[in-house]
Structures are given as structure tokens and as C-alpha cells.
């Protein structure tokens, strides 16, 4: 019985690998065999290399998409959102609508669950996976942000409004919150480019403080992609780009899907 379970586990993992790489939304574990052992599944998943996965697997449907405007957004945040969003779709002279150079990335609290293949993963995670930056339900209180990527230029920009819960020095954004948004933006960018990654190194220089409640831009660009290593650089600037607040470099290492199940 146990042998049969293990065999089925391997088949399921092979199927999951194919499904993940194809980027399809199907719950392949719906009728999971009762003798399947989670640890066997996990160790088999360890062998699924990130290079087999389609980049940026998150779907555009599901519950609350935190990247969409809400009433807490200041006019500057809304203006910058519309600026980048307008470049996600372009209209030809004949009125035909085509994909533009930018893509808005949807963002969910239950990030893994709403990724293709994520329904399977969330079973193993007992539906507990939550994304830190999207855990504050009160709109405008924490991290309000939207990420856009430019596929051709391999750049990424995030419009970020820091809420009152992110206070460090009086009236200013906490350095850890700045590190969090930089890790999230570069991590998202790296995952978009290279599939599942973990941050190995994030080196930050804080140049000028960020006023609480202000709207800033977080830019991420590729330094180098070398095998499993994706090196990105990141700058936080004022919304008009005139003032540098923070700069960083981040090293992201591609990992197998199994690493996400610890
Ligand atoms: C349906 C599936 C969906 C999958 C989606 C996946 C991801 C997207 C997920 C969510 C996206 C949503 C939002 C994104 C938001 C936030 C992103 C935040 C990301 C994080 O916040 S994540 C938490 C903090 N992060 C850690 O908790 C990592 C702890 N750590 C480890 O888990 C290991 O340490 C690991 C895995 C990093 C490497 O371990 P490993 O065993 O796999 O690889 P190994 O050590 O062999 O290194 C291989 C080569 O990298 C070089 N290397 C390694 N580390 C280096 C360093 N620090 N400096 C310079 N070089 C380094 C080596 O020198 C070698 O180089 P070489 O090959 O040339 O020798």
C-alpha cells in the first residue's frame, strides 16, 4: 500500500511539474490518494527545478487584488498608477487594442493559492500562506503599492504609499519597512524573470528619509542573470524622480518549488 502511495506521489509530482511549467490553473490533487505522504511529496517537489516553471505564475482572477486603486490612495499615487497603467495597453491608429510595454502585476494576500498550481500547494501549506505586505486589511494603513514590469527593458517600477503603521523615526518611514518594500519589489521582479527565488542578499544604503504618507517610486533593474543567480539593483526616489531616498542591490537564488513548502 505504501509503495503504491509513493508511486502515485511521484506521478503527481511529475504532473505538478508539467502543470506548473505550463502555467495552467487546475487542481490536480483534487482526488488525492489517502496514502500519499506529504514528506514524499515535498522531497519529490525538491527535484522540480525552477527553470521548468513559466515566469510570473500569478493569475489575474481571484479575490481582492491589492494592486488596484482604493480610496486611501493619494492623488499622486492614483496619477502614477494611471500613468503606468495607460502603458499596459496601446491603441493603434485603426483603434485596435494591443499589449503595451508595461504589465501590471496582480497582488494577493494568499499569493500562493492564487498562482496556477497554487491550489495544490496551499493544501500542503494548510491554506496558511499569507503575504506579509498584504496582511493589513485597513486600507492605507500599511503598504499600499502596485508593481509594473517592463518585459522588454527588464525593468520594474513600484508606486508605493507608506501608511501610518510604518512609522519609524517620528513622521518618517521605518528602515525595516523600506527594506521590506525593496525586497518585495526586487523579489517580485526576480520571480517574474527567473521563477521561484529566495533573497540571498540585500544590501541597502539609506540616503534620505521618506516622509510618512508620501508617495515614492521603487525602481528595479537587472544587473546580471547567471544560472541560478539573479542580481538586481533598486532605487527609491521621490515621485518626480528628483530625490534619491534609498538604494540597494539584491541577490536572488532560484529555488525548487519544494523550498516554498518548509
Ligand atoms: C506556484 C509556485 C509559485 C512560486 C512563486 C515563487 C516566488 C514568488 C513568491 C512570492 C512572490 C510574491 C511576492 C514576492 C515578495 C517578496 C519576495 C521576498 C523574498 C524573501 O524575502 S525570501 C526570505 C528571505 N530569504 C531567505 O530566508 C533565504 C535563506 N537562504 C536560503 O534559503 C539559501 O541560502 C538560498 C536558497 C538563498 C541558497 O541556498 P542553496 O543551497 O539553494 O544554494 P547555494 O548555497 O548552493 O548557493 C547557490 C549559489 O549562490 C551563491 N550564494 C548563495 N547565497 C549567497 C549570498 N548570500 N551571497 C553571495 N552568493 C550567494 C552561492 O555561492 C552559489 O554560487 P555558485 O553556484 O557560483 O557557487
Average of per-residue pLDDT across 105-117: 73
Give 202's DSSP letter.
E
* DSSP-assigned beta bridge partners for residue 97: 91
Ligand 1 binding pocket mutation candidate from 107, 156, 183, 200 (most atoms within 8 A of CB) = 200
127 contact partners, CB below 8 Å, separation of at least 6: 110, 113
pLDDT at 25 over 50: no
Q: Which has more pLDDT, 125 or 165?
A: 165
**Cell numbers of 159, please?**
508606486
pTM metric for this prediction:
0.80
Please answer whether residues 241 and 187 qualify as being in contact, where contact means their C-beta atoms are separated by less than 8 angstroms: no
Counting every residue written for the chain, the total comes to 262
ipTM score assigned to the predicted complex: 0.93
pLDDT tens for 238-253 read 999 999 999 999 999 9
- Model confidence band, residue 26 (pLDDT cutoffs 50, 70, 90): very low
- CATH of region 68-105+137-262: 3.10.129.10
Protein residue closest via CA to atom 55 of ligand 1: 200
| 101 to 48, 90, 97, 143: CA distances (angstroms) | 31, 9, 13, 26
pLDDT at 135 over 80: yes
At residue 21, the pLDDT reads 37
57 in contact with ligand 1, CB cutoff 6 A? yes
pLDDT at 120 over 90: no
130 contact partners, CB below 8 Å, separation of at least 6: 109, 110
Domain spans, the chain: 68-105+137-262
Place of cell 525593496: 182
Amino acid at each position: 500500500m505504501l509503495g503504491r502511495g509513493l508511486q502515485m506521489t511521484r506521478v503527481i509530482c511529475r504532473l505538478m511539474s508539467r502543470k506548473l511549467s505550463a502555467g495552467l490553473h487546475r487542481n490536480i490533487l483534487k482526488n488525492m490518494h489517502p496514502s500519499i505522504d506529504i514528506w514524499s511529496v515535498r522531497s519529490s517537489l525538491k527535484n522540480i527545478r525552477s527553470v521548468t516553471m513559466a515566469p510570473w505564475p500569478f493569475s489575474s482572477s481571484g479575490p481582492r487584488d491589492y494592486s488596484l486603486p482604493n480610496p486611501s490612495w493619494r492623488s499622486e499615487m492614483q496619477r502614477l498608477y494611471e500613468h503606468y497603467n495607460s502603458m499596459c495597453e496601446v491603441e493603434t491608429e485603426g483603434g485596435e487594442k494591443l499589449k503595451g510595454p508595461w504589465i501590471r502585476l496582480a497582488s494577493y494576500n494568499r499569493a500562493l493559492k492564487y498562482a496556477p498550481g497554487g491550489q495544490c500547494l496551499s493544501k500542503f501549506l494548510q491554506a496558511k500562506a499569507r503575504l506579509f505586505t498584504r496582511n493589513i486589511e485597513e486600507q492605507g494603513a500599511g503598504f499600499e503599492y502596485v508593481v509594473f514590469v517592463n518585459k522588454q527593458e527588464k525593468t520594474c517600477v513600484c508606486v508605493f504609499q507608506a501608511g501610518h503603521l510604518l512609522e519609524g523615526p517620528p513622521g518618517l518611514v521605518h528602515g525595516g519597512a523600506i527594506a521590506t518594500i525593496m525586497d518585495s519589489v526586487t523579489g517580485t521582479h526576480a520571480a517574474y524573470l527567473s521563477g521561484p527565488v529566495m533573497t540571498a542578499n540585500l544590501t541597502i544604503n539609506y540616503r534620505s528619509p521618506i516622509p510618512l504618507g508620501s508617495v515614492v517610486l521603487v525602481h528595479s533593474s537587472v544587473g546580471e542573470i547567471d544560472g541560478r543567480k539573479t542580481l538586481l539593483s533598486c532605487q527609491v526616489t521621490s515621485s518626480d524622480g528628483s530625490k534619491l531616498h534609498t538604494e540597494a542591490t539584491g541577490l536572488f537564488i532560484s529555488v525548487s518549488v519544494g523550498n516554498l513548502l518548509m
